[in-house]
Amino acid sequence: MIRTLRNRWCSVWLAVVSSASCSGGGDGGTDATGQATGSTGATGSASEAVTDATSSGGATAPTTTDEGTGTSTGTTAAPTTTGGPTSSTEPATTDASTTSGTTGAAGSAGCGAMNPASGALTIDVQDQSGQYIVSLPADYDPDTPYPLGFAFHGRNRTGPNCQDGDCAGFQAAMGDQAILVYMTSLGGTGWEGDGEREINAEFFEKVLDRVVENYCVDEGRVFAAGTSSGAHFVNILGCRFGDRLLAVAPVAGYLPEKDGCVDRVAALVIHGIADVHVPFDNGEEARDFWRVRDACGEETVPTIAEVHAAVEGEPESHACAAYQGCDDGLSVVWCEHSEGGYDGTTHGWPLFGGQQIWEFVQGL
């Protein structure tokens, strides 16, 4: 079933974008048929359970327990995407595995600055010291504009935890092609609860401003991903900072804010089918919100029903569906997975996540 879904998705996608590829995601490679060869497993932790705050938009946050690492075994083969169908007028993208930076992009104010600081850094936010990590490609060129990606940890975790494995594959998939930032939340143990949301939104904006001022960034290719509490926050950022973000990728998140959103973003929404901490329908709600905002139709390739049946039928698997008819540059893709999390559920960031996110961004 899953191989059939992969072949169907690839045939539609390749008909739209001639240079796109259909890979298996995960930590492994793919063979000539697109069959994934890497093992999978979701990442998360067994820290204390925390009930997130009720959002200003009226939605009640799910109870979450975040966020260390767990492992599972098995090999998956599931349809993945490189961003979903795009307009035929858009240029073909270059293989992310061989390209650093963005050719022909207009660079930020930081272009040309030699030897910018990287690693563990701090910035003042209100009366607190915000901690964050900047990762630069090994061959960083100060005159080449790079995509900029943010990854946000789950509750009771840190930016280093996210970089080191909680946000599986994020660093490995794009660390040589993009500038990456890992922040540690302020105001509490997460990003979006009482006393957390506003200071962290300010924290994000300050770090974003500093990075574009000090590094060579393609400001048209800034994206944000996060897991659990970090995913809730990414949905907030997609609403509040749509004028500065290209895309968001919430992994196991709910939708705290819906009103007063600024501009629009592409969205890749990833959710485990047996997530008891952030229920599955929370992920569906976020997916449908972005679909409507981006003017996508209800049709997907493959169908949502096919994706769900395939994932339910094969443990430790994942499958994705691309919505059709979205406005140019505003693809919406939905991925489900059955990878085991840290506590026997599917809550957490699955091992295919980082590669899936990078392929999605590259396809926009």
* 3 within 8 A of 77, measured Cβ to Cβ: yes
Residue 46 falls inside a structural domain? yes
Which residues fall within 8 angstroms of residue 195, CB to CB, at 6 or more apart? Answer: 187, 188
Residue 265 falls inside a structural domain? yes
Q: Which residue has the tokens 């003017």?
A: 295
* 167 within 8 A of 234, measured Cβ to Cβ: no
CATH code, 138:
3.40.50.1820
Residue 244 falls inside a structural domain? yes
Q: Any idea what DSSP says for residue 162? A: I
Residue 218 falls inside a structural domain? yes
pLDDT at 61: 59
* 162 within 8 A of 37, measured Cβ to Cβ: no
pLDDT at 105: 76
Q: Tell me how many domains the chain contains.
A: 1
Collapsed DSSP state (helix, strand, coil) of residue 109? coil
Strands 266-272 and 332-337: parallel
Residue 273 falls inside a structural domain? yes
Residue 152 falls inside a structural domain? yes
pLDDT in tens, the chain (364 residues): 544 454 444 443 333 333 333 333 333 333 322 333 333 356 655 443 333 333 333 444 565 444 554 433 333 333 443 334 333 333 333 343 334 666 567 799 999 999 999 999 999 999 999 999 999 999 999 999 999 999 999 999 999 999 999 999 999 999 999 999 999 999 999 999 999 999 999 999 999 999 999 999 999 999 999 999 999 999 999 999 999 999 999 999 999 999 999 999 999 999 999 999 999 999 999 999 999 999 999 999 999 999 999 999 999 999 999 999 999 999 999 999 999 877 889 999 999 999 999 999 999 9
Q: How far apart are CA 333 and CA 336, in angstroms?
A: 10
Residue 94 falls inside a structural domain? no
Residue 271 falls inside a structural domain? yes
Which residues fall within 8 angstroms of residue 137, CB to CB, at 6 or more apart? Answer: 100, 101, 146, 175, 176, 177, 178, 179
Strands 247-251 and 318-323: unpaired
Q: Which residue has the tokens 């001022």?
A: 213
User: Peptide bond before 284: cis, by omega within 30 degrees of 0?
Assistant: no
Length of the chain measured in residues: 364
Quote the tokens at residue 262.
Answer: 């600024």
Collapsed DSSP state (helix, strand, coil) of residue 194? coil
Collapsed DSSP state (helix, strand, coil) of residue 164? helix
Domain ranges, residue 45: 2-13+25-86+117-362
Q: Report DSSP letters for 176-218, one per residue.
A: TTSEEEEE--SSSSSSSSTTTHHHHHHHHHHHHHHHHHHS-EE
Which residues fall within 8 angstroms of residue 103, CB to CB, at 6 or more apart? Answer: 94
pLDDT at 344: 81
